[in-house]
Amino acid sequence: MKETLATIHEILDSKKAIDVRIIDISRISNFTNYFIICSGANEKHIQTLADELQKKLGERGIETAHVEGYQNAEWVLLDYFDFIVHIFSIETREYYELERLWADGKVVDVRALP
């Protein structure tokens, strides 16, 4: 899983995602193990981040189970069962404060990933 998380971080970073955070919620959630949270600069950037993740992970045999919010691109959710990627507009991320809501999770140090 750590390799997958590192790959996700690399993909998002290569497309200039803003403030990428990975949170381990496996001990406090019964529906997924990790949240990957980031922001995009605008609607097109958010959609590009989602598209690139789906493409690159799909090439590795990791398919998206469910996508929400792609059309309006304020909050795009990509569900992969073991992890969920949340791609927000800056304003929507500030409004929902997902990191605060899941503060009992453990923030993953991306520098420690393979």
Q: What are the boundaries of each domain within the chain?
A: 2-104
Q: What is the C-alpha to C-alpha distance for residues 11 and 9, in angstroms, rounded to an integer?
A: 5
pTM value?
0.93
**Using an 8 Å Cβ cutoff, are 79 and 66 in contact?**
yes
pLDDT by 10s per residue, the chain, length 114? 889 999 999 999 999 999 999 999 999 999 999 999 999 999 999 999 999 999 999 999 999 999 999 999 999 999 999 999 999 999 999 999 999 999 899 999 877 766
CATH tag for 2-104 (out of 3.90.1150.10, 3.30.460.10, 3.40.50.800, 1.20.1530.20): 3.30.460.10
Q: What is the C-alpha to C-alpha distance for residues 92 and 90, in angstroms, rounded to an integer?
A: 6
